[in-house]
Structure 1
Amino acid sequence: MKWTSGIKTASLLVLGVVLIIIISVLSVAYGTKPMSFGTVLNAIFHADPENIDHVIVRTSRIPRTAGALLIGAFLAVSGALMQGMTRNYLASPSIMGISDGSVFAVTLCMVFLPGASSMTMIVYSLAGSALGAFLVFGTAKLLPGGVSPLTLAVLGTIIGTFLGGVSQALAVYFQVSQDISFWYNARLHMMDPAVIRLALPFAAVGLVLALLMARPVTMLSLGDETAAGLGLKVGTIKMLTMLSVVLLTGISVAIAGKIAFIGLIIPHIVRFLVGQDYRRIIPCTVFAGAIFLALSDLISRYINFPFETPVGVVTALFGVPFFLYLIKTRGGGHHS
């Protein structure tokens, strides 16, 4: 049985690689200005700085595609870890206020440190995602029944909305709302390659941590008492898992702003395909999340062609019905 599930996982990963290659090629070739595949290949391998098409491919479309793949992967893994750790099928960075914490911190940075470097912005974003997680889970601990899925989701929404409201009030008062709008409506076409490069080391640590936590999180998803009975240091594992979530979410927001629902939808689809073992779930969510966001980005270019539609609109089209379906089918209980 284990052998067949291993083969299934390997097949899904191979399929994931193939789909990522196809979507990446389409994403670079198709946009407001259509280009032939020959032009794209020339731009990659024989770039001519005088050729405007080559400049568009190298400075805009490749970073955009790379960013979409990375952010999709990071947010999907964050969601999978949160769902496993809290045994809460509604857990995801956007619902639990973690993304809003990042946006709040980035707003503070833009208001009080105008002209801050990209690295400062990344650090603020990471600190903000930690703040969001601390506020939501800290408040949940104080409330009776606070860790039930629906209560946590409501708490996350309330705290997230509060942080978002304060951010917008600050942005309007200090007249930086134009600059900050990027962080509310993630616009992947404004991707900065320099920020992606700076963010990669943090993201690598987050992903390695996620893979190391895969087995312990599988045990946690059976329940804290069971995990402790199996010799797991529950508190330490939860801290390390949240560190991975904070790193991956904070980096995603720093690169492209807040994008909802990826961390909610993708882990459920992957669990349905590969089962409950997070050693298989984590690698598969990397690919599934990357594919989902890159595909959503591609769709977003054509909803209101030739104008850009924020990619969050597309993820919400998939995410909102899925969210309602989960609440209807799961009610307020834990996922096992």
Structure 2
Amino acid sequence: MTLDTGTGHDLSGIGSTRSAVVGRSPWVTAGIPAAAVLAAVVASICLGSSPSTLAEVWHAIVTPTGTDMDVTIRELRWPRTLTGIAAGACLGVAGLLTQGHTRNAVADPGLLGINQGAALAIVAATFTFGGLSVYTQATLAFFGALLASVVVFLIGTAARHGATPITLVLSGAAVTALCGGVVTGLTLLDEASLDTLRFWQVGSLAARSNVIDSLWPFVLAGLLLAVLNIGALNTLALGEDVARSLGTSVLAARSTGIAAITLLAGCAVTMAGPIAFAGLVVPHLARAVAGGDYRRSLPAAAAIGVGLVLVADTAGRLIARPGELSVGVVLAVIGAPFFVLLARRRRMVTV
């Protein structure tokens, strides 16, 4: 059996992806995601139960006069679009780093216990103190995600050979199972905890859009750590022994990567709840567009993550108007068949 080698898929997949982008202009690899982001942002602001024109959008943002459309764009669509931009970028980059560090092509940030850690913090606080405000839930989700990731990393580094991809995956699975079991137990004992969990688990860009004002420093810190991790990830893709021979500190690289994943995924969970498939599918799209070099695939993952989340959110508003389907539901519906098709077209593990 030939396992993947650090970029999320096997050597043959890397070779085919890299050959597909050989000679491609950087302007092309950057322009495709940028164009997708721009189109998704425009659609997110213009489309909804009451569509608006570009002229109305410009009027609402630049010279508002208090009309119904001005209020709709400024108070509803613009904040949720900003939330989608931040959450999508966080999920895309966190997913790419997760697949790179765990060497697992079907990994997403939830593999490190982030989603279940956030859920446990919210449910435990509700069980203890009663009903919680939306802002309090968001704060608890962030710190619960941080704590779960720290525990996963500490368990992984305590192993004999340190924080290897296998120890990280196993410790993440253990922490996820433990948190999930406790969450289930608490929700069975307390109806208020169950109601709170139901509300939080419906990933949405609307319900918690006000928390972005408090989270932007953490988002910037996570993106900075991800950028600093690019060089180490490129050398780790060649194998840990080769990376060490090139002077890369594997422990420092893993620590930086896990810190970036924790901050980015924790912020995404806080802003939009647990959104499935974005962190799983986006890295594959980014590598298809930009290749296996993290210097190109990381910004591509951020841009594609933004586009995917905003498109799913806009589609949810159009499909069920005058109501809406949550972005998490839409991504699950369109993401599952897409990923099955992706798995059939590309070999992730060869025997």
Q: TM-score, normalised by structure 2?
A: 0.80
Specify the code of the residue in structure 2 equivalent to 1:190. A
Q: Quick check: 1:311 aligned with 2:327? A: yes
Q: Quick check: 1:125 aligned with 2:144? A: no
Q: 63, 68, 80: which is aligned to 1:52?
A: 68
Q: Tell me, yes or no, if the aligned pair for 1:209 and 1:241 is still in contact at 8 Å.
A: yes
Secondary structure of 1:189's partner? coil
Distance verdict in 2 for CA 1:269–1:15, change over 3 Å: closer
Q: Tell me, yes or no, if the aligned pair for 1:90 and 1:153 is still in contact at 8 Å.
A: no
Which position in structure 2 is the counterpart of 1:65? 81
Distance verdict in 2 for CA 1:330–1:18, change over 3 Å: closer
Q: TM-score, normalised by structure 1?
A: 0.83
Which position in structure 2 is the counterpart of 1:227? 243
Q: Tell me, yes or no, if the aligned pair for 2:202 and 2:274 is still in contact at 8 Å.
A: yes
Q: CA deviation at 1:186?
A: 0.5
The CA distance in 1 between the partners of 2:216 and 2:277, in whole Å, is 22
Which position in structure 1 is the counterpart of 2:121? 105
Report 1:197-208 matches (<5 A): 197-208=213-224
Q: Tell me, yes or no, if the aligned pair for 1:60 and 1:191 is still in contact at 8 Å.
A: no
The CA distance in 1 between the partners of 2:78 and 2:202, in whole Å, is 20
Which position in structure 2 is the counterpart of 1:260? 276
Q: CA deviation at 1:165?
A: 5.0
Q: Provide the alpha-carbon RMSD of the alignment.
A: 3.4
Q: 310, 314, 318: which is aligned to 1:298?
A: 314
- The alignment covers a number of residue pairs equal to 327
The CA distance in 1 between the partners of 2:60 and 2:87, in whole Å, is 24
The CA distance in 1 between the partners of 2:133 and 2:322, in whole Å, is 33
Q: For structure 1, which runs of at least 5 residues remain unmatched after alignment?
A: none
Secondary structure of 2:65's partner? coil
Q: CA deviation at 1:288?
A: 0.8
Q: Tell me which moved more, 134-143 or 222-231.
A: 134-143
Which position in structure 1 is the counterpart of 2:347? 329
The CA distance in 2 between the partners of 1:43 and 1:171, in whole Å, is 44
Encode CA deviations 1:309-334: one digit per residue, 9 max, x unaligned.
1212222234323554538832488x
Report 1:1-336 matches (<5 A): 8-49=25-66, 51-112=67-128, 118=135, 124-134=140-150, 136=152, 138=155, 156=172, 159-160=175-176, 162-164=178-180, 166-167=182-183, 169-171=185-187, 173=190, 175-193=192-210, 195-324=211-340, 326=343, 329-331=347-349
Q: CA deviation at 1:148?
A: 7.1
Specify the code of the residue in structure 2 equivalent to 1:184. Q
The CA distance in 2 between the partners of 1:319 and 1:22, in whole Å, is 20
Secondary structure of 1:309's partner? coil
Q: For structure 2, which runs of at least 5 residues remain unmatched after alignment?
A: 1-17
Identity, in percent, stands at 30
The CA distance in 2 between the partners of 1:321 and 1:332, in whole Å, is 22
